[in-house]
Amino acid sequence: MTSKPSPERSSGLPPEITTTECRTCGTLVSGVDGRYACGMCGWVNHWSEGHRELPSAEDDPDWQAH
């Protein structure tokens, strides 16, 4: 099965550092492309809330098809 690259991945844009407030304790947290984890209370947002599609295994330079 093959998939077409998403516009986000094919654009060649680097990951973006984003910042928000923790939804549980209010601490200012930074993440990559809208995906966050709070080091103070352990809150994490769901992966689907990110600003871009996650890369596939094939996009990983260390991935090897077997």
pLDDT digits (tens, 9 = 90+) for 24-48: 999 999 999 999 999 999 999 999 9
CA separation for the pair 53, 28 (Å, rounded): 24
Coil vs helix vs strand at 49 = helix
Cα–Cα–Cα angle for 55, 11, 16, rounded to 5 degrees: 65
Which comes out higher in pLDDT, residue 29 or 9?
29
**Model-wide pTM > 0.75:** no
